[in-house]
Amino acid sequence: MVWAPLGAPRTDCLTLLHIPSKDCPKMSLEWLVAWSWSLDGLRDCIATGIQSVRDCDTTAVITVACLLVLFVWYCYHVGREQPRPYVSVNSLMQAADANGLQNGYVYCQSPECMRCTHNEGLNQKLYHNLQEYAKRYSWSGMGRIHKGIREQGRYLNSRPSIQKPEVFFLPDLPTTPYFSRDAQKHDVEVLERNFQTILCEFETLYKAFSNCSLPQGWKMNSTPSGEWFTFYLVNQGVCVPRNCRKCPRTYRLLGSLRTCIGNNVFGNACISVLSPGTVITEHYGPTNIRIRCHLGLKTPNGCELVVGGEPQCWAEGRCLLFDDSFLHAAFHEGSAEDGPRVVFMVDLWHPNVAAAERQALDFIFAPGR
């Protein structure tokens, strides 16, 4: 039983016939001829399709071109945006108590938040990162970091309640709730000289609140009373491109700071706004390796920061330095007529963290590691 063309040669079908074996040579010739005609038909079909495209309606062509341009623009736009940070150190940490209050502070329950997540496997991950760093560079100067990671559980659990960082404690650092301006004198002077620049960019941003309750780029934080808004330029070591484009001079200013933490998950830079009647209840920061700097932009009466039981007030155009690994709280008890309390917040290195340690900590706590 073999395949052969039926009747006159056709390009659209073949029929099954019984042909004696002695006629096989003749069958093969007819078979090739039939396939030749089939290819001719395929060629005609392709030519017809091309002609159809050439004769296509002008409107359809314009529509396809517009869709192509939109697709290219979308690819370019997505490519320019910095990818969302997924910090693997945080992914190790499960929010065991995130459904309620910890130390009187409402936690955000975000899986990307270094402060609000905890896990027993974190120390193992940190030690692995330290070993990887030492293999690439050196163990020199890593004594305190090695000691801190090795005994992290003991440090975090046995610390006095007045200072208890929730993620990482570096041993043998001087501890004090507040720091003098001389602790990071250069960066304090740079920020205070540029007070008007930062204030102007904030006022431009804040105008958007008259059009909607929470403009794009702003984040509302959990508080037991009042409203607390933040506008991040750097969030846990990762630049927020869209926000930085709205505050270009303030963002460039960060590059002129010598001790700004910008390459690990403990580094932040943002505008922080407290509306009247807001209370940020007592809580601890994630680490003692940094100093949190608040540059006062708008500081009405009735606003107060309490760190380690010691109260302080902000002042416009002046920097206030404190260690947020101490138990701290903030209040705005002024009236609605006083307006919001606004500070520009940036995290700086603790002055007693050595250069080699900073480099290692940037590696160990790098975003995405």
How would you write the pLDDT of the chain (369 residues) with one tens digit per residue?
A: 444 444 444 444 444 434 444 454 455 556 555 655 566 666 676 667 566 656 666 676 677 778 788 788 777 665 554 443 333 334 333 333 333 333 333 444 454 555 454 555 677 889 999 999 999 999 999 999 999 998 887 777 777 789 999 899 999 999 999 999 999 999 999 999 999 999 999 999 998 887 777 888 999 998 998 999 999 999 999 999 999 999 999 999 999 999 999 999 999 999 999 999 999 999 999 999 999 999 999 999 999 999 999 999 999 999 999 999 999 999 999 999 999 999 999 999 999 999 999 999 999 999 987
Q: Which domains does the chain have, with CATH numbers?
A: 176-208+215-353 (2.60.120.330)
Helical H runs in 81-228?
88-91, 122-136, 143-150, 152-158, 185-193, 195-206
DSSP single-letter state for residue 221: E
The token pair that represents 264 in the structure block: 């690990």
Asked if 327 and 282 touch (Cβ cutoff 8 Å), the reply is yes
Whose tokens are 């896990």? That residue is: 119
Calpha distance 291→351 (Å, rounded) = 8
C-alpha to C-alpha distance for 199 and 318, rounded to whole angstroms: 12
Q: What is the pLDDT of residue 316?
A: 97
pLDDT at 236: 95
Distance CA 246, CA 12 (A): 66
pLDDT of residue 209: 82
Whole-structure pTM value: 0.70
- CA pair distance 246, 233, nearest whole angstrom: 9
Write the DSSP assignment of 185-216 as a string of letters: HHHHHHHHHTHHHHHHHHHHHHGGGGT-SS-T
Q: Are strands 269-274 and 101-102 parallel, antiparallel or unpaired?
A: unpaired
Whether the CB-CB separation of 345 and 296 falls below 8 Å is answered with: no
